[in-house]
């Protein structure tokens, strides 16, 4: 199986960056879902031969992502340094989750590394985990899952992104500069 591999950012690093816990009824799940759909609309089409990873955070009432990109994937396997994304999270931000894309020629399934990375951060209040399949389907899964089968069984579709639309726009922007 071709699995996307990630280097997990140190849990202590995330813990140090996470603002004080927020009330259970203040977990902005729908706002995070919408933000994640927007991130996949932008980065999903660019996942041709590479993977994008983002930590979702809230700062001053705005939900944003700190994003890193893998190098070129080989045989569908990607190595994404999530610590690079963690380093971009502003001090005082409240971590809300993570998302990552699978390359267009990659696996539709979560890898053990994907599951382990989210589990390492599941202790963070309101933490959500998301990924996109190669066909553009966006899924959330239970970040506290202890195995790939458990994580796969917990997946819920939250949308879909167009594989080509945004990539064409960005390619045109890059060529004009």
Give 126's Cβ-side CA count (13 Å radius): 23
Q: Which region among 48-57, 73-82, 156-165 has the lowest average model confidence (pLDDT)? A: 73-82
Q: What mean pLDDT value characterizes the chain? A: 84
Q: How many separate domains does the chain show?
A: 1
CATH number assigned to the domain comprising residue 146: 3.40.140
pLDDT digits (tens, 9 = 90+) for 91-138: 999 999 999 999 998 899 999 999 999 999 999 999 999 999 999 999
What's phi and psi for 101, nearest 5 deg? -100, 145
**Whether pLDDT at 1 is above 60:** no
Give the pLDDT score at 15.
44
Q: How confident is the model at residue 25 (pLDDT cuts 50, 70, 90)?
A: low
79: burial class by Cβ within 10 Å (0-12, 13-18, 19+)?
Answer: middle
Portion of the chain with pLDDT greater than 70, in percent: 78
Residues 108, 174: Cα–Cα separation, whole Å: 29
Binned at pLDDT 50, 70 and 90, residue 75 comes out as: confident
Residues in Cβ contact with 118 at an 8 Å cutoff, skipping those fewer than 6 apart: 98, 127, 129, 141, 143, 144, 145, 151
Q: What pLDDT was estimated at residue 170? A: 55
* pLDDT reported for residue 79: 81
Show the domain range for 45: 5-176
């Amino acid at each position: 199986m071709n699995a996307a591999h990630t280097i997990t950012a140190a849990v202590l690093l995330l813990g140090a960056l996470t603002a004080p816990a927020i009330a259970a009824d203040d977990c902005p799940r729908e706002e995070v879902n919408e933000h994640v759909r927007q991130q996949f609309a932008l980065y999903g089409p660019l996942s041709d031969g590479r993977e994008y990873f983002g930590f979702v955070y809230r700062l001053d009432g705005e939900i944003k992502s700190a994003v890193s990109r893998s190098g070129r994937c080989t045989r569908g396997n990607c190595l994404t340094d999530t610590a690079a994304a963690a380093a971009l999270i502003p001090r005082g931000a409240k971590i809300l989750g993570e998302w990552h894309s699978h390359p267009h020629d990659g696996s539709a399934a979560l890898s053990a590394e994907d599951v382990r990375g989210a589990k390492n951060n599941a202790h963070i209040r309101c933490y959500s985990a998301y990924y996109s399949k190669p066909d553009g389907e966006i899924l959330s899964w239970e970040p506290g899952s202890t195995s790939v089968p458990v994580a796969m069984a917990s997946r819920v579709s939250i949308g879909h992104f167009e594989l080509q639309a945004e990539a064409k726009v960005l390619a045109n922007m890059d060529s004009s500069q």
